Structure formats: C-alpha cells, structure tokens
Amino acid sequence: MFTPKYPPQDTASTPTVIQPQTTTPAHVPVPVAPAAPVSNRPTIQLTPGSTLALVAGGGAVVLVVGTVLVSMLLAVAITGVSVAVVAIVIRLLVKDLHKER
C-alpha cells in the first residue's frame, strides 16, 4: 500500500542504421551512432497567449486564496474580541452581585 508506483519504462526500440560496406581498402567506414530514443510522452508547447493565461490564472488563484485566508483571520480576531468583551461584562456582573451581599 505504501510502496511507490513507478511509471513503466519507455519501450520504444532504437532503430539501427546499417551502412553498406565498401570494398575499396582506402575507405574506412565511419561508425554511425544510433539515433536517440524517441519518447512517446506528450510534450506541452506554450504559446505566448497560453503563457499569459497561465500567469493570469495563477495570479487569480493567489488573490482568491489570500482573500479567504485574510477573511478567516479577521473572523477569528473579531470572535476573540467579542469573547473578551463578554468575559469582562460577566466579570463585572458577578462582582456587582458579590457587592450587594
């Protein structure tokens, strides 16, 4: 359950290039390096318009998340001040009740 799952290896085979051999002794065949394996993964190409949309979307997300977090912080602060005021009022009422006795 907690073991990592790795994606499967690329199974694209590398094409081999076979050079025809010449029979003249003066010519030495040059070995050709095999071509780089072609990945079958899709590539993402960003145009200037899509880059601008991506930046604008990221900025909007940052603004929305920031607004929500600030609103939550304000709600907690207002609740804390309200509880403090209520505690002071209750303390004063209890103090007045003890004075009358």
pLDDT at 99: 85
Non-local CB neighbours of 34 within 8 Å, separated by 6+ positions: 14, 15, 16, 17
pLDDT of residue 22: 61
* Residue 22: DSSP 8-state: P
Residue 93 pLDDT greater than 80, yes or no = yes
Instruction: State the pLDDT at residue 9.
Output: 76
Answering whether pTM is above 0.85, one says no
Q: What pLDDT does 94 receive?
A: 94
Tens-place pLDDT, residues 7-57: 777 766 666 777 776 665 566 667 777 777 777 777 778 888 999 999 999
Q: Give the start-to-end residue ranges of the domains of the chain.
A: 65-101
Helix (H) or strand (E) segment spanning residue 58? helix 48-100
- Tens digits of residue pLDDT in 51-86: 999 999 999 999 999 999 999 999 999 999 999 999
Report the alpha-carbon distance of residue 94 to residue 41 in Å, rounded.
73
Residue 39: closest CA among 82, 18, 67, 8: 8
